[in-house]
Chains A and B, each alone.
Chain A
């Protein structure tokens, strides 16, 4: 029986209720954004008692559908001041779905100055005081919590950064190997920290698998869907072989690889940090180049990266992290970047926000460009320990830029701009500007069509067609984020018609309904509009839907292009 579970941290009680009629048929981002918009006062302080932290598995999570195991988390963001949804792999989403929990809503703030854990099992949701794991990193938390329960329970946790309510704090989710995936963006770890929850553990013991209403139809649709993932060269070959870091070289060729705090579009040492180099290094050291971030993932773009001695160093080592510390901070040593990635996962900070912040910090003279050892030290000894400088750095790129009086600060809605320069990849620039989440490449990945020739081709250097492209992709993404599917199914979905039709068939077979393609588009539009309205009610305006001024003033080599959309042109994004 599907249900909503509430955890009230103000009076330390839990409650379970049926899914209200208006939330039936929602999952993932559609569920979290709908609940946040309905129950969180938009003008509340994001770290105060009125904010709510909502977790939701996607519509198909827990089923046999390939790549359906993403967990969404939503709240008002302390970083952007607007609504936030972030999603990750790991094992938690599947377990919540199997337990029938369509949404887990964490409310209030404890009256006492104490920390707690939450344990969710078949018949009970329990809040316990927690002291032993305070101050501990996420790797240690996962290890110790799973040892306590004597089995691989799902673990959702915050590291020291979340405890300290830093704006770059993320929420970690244990993966099938008890390593770390991240609900990365927007400071959701600070929201969890404000509610004094160190970790949530989930035990699926004794619950049956999630069964579809029409098993035969589901099985057939699932088979077709899985085949499209295998057949498409990106999801079937490129991503499994090289992971996301394969993008370094192509963005460099396209002149859109932000380098040295967004002052160039090409990085001379690109080969040293490329996916090809990473792949060869992983294989040479006995690591795992192809790895699933959640059960049932067929694309397996993750990896396990070992150090020079062949010992585990990090996993889920993504392009955006490697770009940020590599090209944007000019750190050439992949091992330094990997060590930094491990520490960021452990202390619990968003690796995109933190890398963008370090780019600004290097220009500000806090440390030199290229100083990988310095980054590792500052992560461990300043941010991780919450020194005064660490608190400054842990507030993200926007805060660091304000404190040091910088003008070249690549953020939108105070969230760091990821790994694609908007001057040379204009479609993703529209997504950064207009997205409800602040600068977020995943909210409308126009790079696919601008750079990767997936879903056709729209010239990345021209304004033509970019607003329509970003709008359509943001609508589609809002829908995909509601299914529990990994966003990378978009690669086959953009090129192979059976991918999307079989996805809809699976949803219909699962719930015994009759959705059409137009219904899915309508869901995406509805989610975006709910989020946009929340942002307006929270006090964000059209002027927040803009890129920083320097993108319009400073031309980007090698193409020597600027950001040239007018405000009026950008505002047409919302004409739907």
Chain B
């Protein structure tokens, strides 16, 4: 299946060379999880603080088990804030 991965702030350095500033498309096996996707880019699971799939938060207890579906947009942020 194919997903779009978006990485922001300090996580952008994990994007493959040649990516646009924040996103890359990925081919993953069916039923792949979030760690499967981030593992392709060697992004440690200790770094994400906020994760969205299609604009909806994934809660922290589900970070390691949530399965992805074809066409998903996975967006991952470290801890950030402002206001």
B67 on interface, CB distance cutoff 8 Å: no
CB neighbours (8 Å) of A453 from chain B are 49-50, 57, 60, 79
A91 on interface, CB distance cutoff 8 Å: no
Which of B12, B50, B60 makes the CB contact (< 8 A) with A250?
B50
- Closest Cβ of chain A: how far from B76's Cβ, in Å? 10
Q: Per-position contact with A for B7-49: 1 when CB-CB < 8 Å, else 0? A: 0111010000000111000000000000000000000000001
A542 on interface, CB distance cutoff 8 Å: no
The answer for the CA separation of A445 and B83 in the assembled complex, in Å, is 8
A304 on interface, CB distance cutoff 8 Å: no
The answer for the CA separation of A253 and B60 in the assembled complex, in Å, is 17
Cβ contact within 8 Å between A254 and B55? yes
Which of B21, B49, B57, B83 makes the CB contact (< 8 A) with A244?
B83
A457 on interface, CB distance cutoff 8 Å: yes
Cβ contact within 8 Å between B81 and A442? no
B20 — nearest CB in chain A belongs to which residue? A271
The answer for the CA separation of A441 and B81 in the assembled complex, in Å, is 13
Chain A residues with a Cβ under 8 A of chain B: 232-235, 237-239, 241-247, 249-250, 253-255, 271, 274-277, 301, 318-319, 441-442, 445, 447-448, 451-454, 457, 459-461, 487-488, 491, 558-559
Cβ contact within 8 Å between B79 and A441? no
What are the 9 tightest A-B residue pairs by CB atom distance, in nearest-first order? Answer: A244-B82, A233-B79, A234-B81, A238-B80, A247-B82, A253-B75, A255-B55, A246-B80, A249-B8
- Closest Cβ of chain B: how far from A297's Cβ, in Å? 15
Total A-B contacts with CB atoms under 8 angstroms apart: 99
Cβ contact within 8 Å between A276 and B9? yes
Given contacts A249-B8, A271-B21, A275-B9, contact A239 B82 (CB under 8 A): yes
The answer for the CA separation of A276 and B23 in the assembled complex, in Å, is 13
Cβ contact within 8 Å between A243 and B21? no
Given contacts A239-B82, A276-B21, A447-B83, contact A250 B59 (CB under 8 A): no
B56 — nearest CB in chain A belongs to which residue? A461
Cβ contact within 8 Å between B55 and A559? yes
The answer for the CA separation of A245 and B80 in the assembled complex, in Å, is 10
CB neighbours (8 Å) of A452 from chain B are 50, 79-81
**Contact residues of A: prevailing secondary structure:** helix
Q: List 14 A-B residue pairs with CB atoms under 8 Å apart, sorted by A's residue number.
A: A238-B78, A241-B9, A244-B82, A246-B81, A246-B82, A247-B80, A247-B83, A250-B80, A253-B77, A271-B20, A275-B82, A442-B83, A448-B83, A459-B57
- Other A-B pairs beyond A239-B80, A460-B57, 9, CB < 8 Å: A238-B9, A238-B79, A250-B77, A254-B55, A271-B20, A447-B83, A448-B83, A453-B50, A457-B60
- Closest Cβ of chain B: how far from A255's Cβ, in Å? 5
CB neighbours (8 Å) of A447 from chain B are 83
The answer for the CA separation of A232 and B81 in the assembled complex, in Å, is 11
Which of A276, A318, A451, A454 makes the CB contact (< 8 A) with B8?
A276
- Closest Cβ of chain A: how far from B40's Cβ, in Å? 20
Which of B10, B60, B79 makes the CB contact (< 8 A) with A234?
B79
A242 — nearest CB in chain B belongs to which residue? B9
The answer for the CA separation of A461 and B12 in the assembled complex, in Å, is 27
CB neighbours (8 Å) of B80 from chain A are 234, 238-239, 242, 246-247, 250, 452
- Closest Cβ of chain B: how far from A230's Cβ, in Å? 13
B22 — nearest CB in chain A belongs to which residue? A271
Given contacts A244-B83, A448-B81, contact A277 B57 (CB under 8 A): no
CB neighbours (8 Å) of A460 from chain B are 57
B77 — nearest CB in chain A belongs to which residue? A250
CB neighbours (8 Å) of B21 from chain A are 271, 276-277
CB neighbours (8 Å) of B20 from chain A are 271
B76 — nearest CB in chain A belongs to which residue? A253
Given contacts A238-B79, A242-B80, A249-B22, contact A457 B59 (CB under 8 A): yes
CB neighbours (8 Å) of A235 from chain B are 81
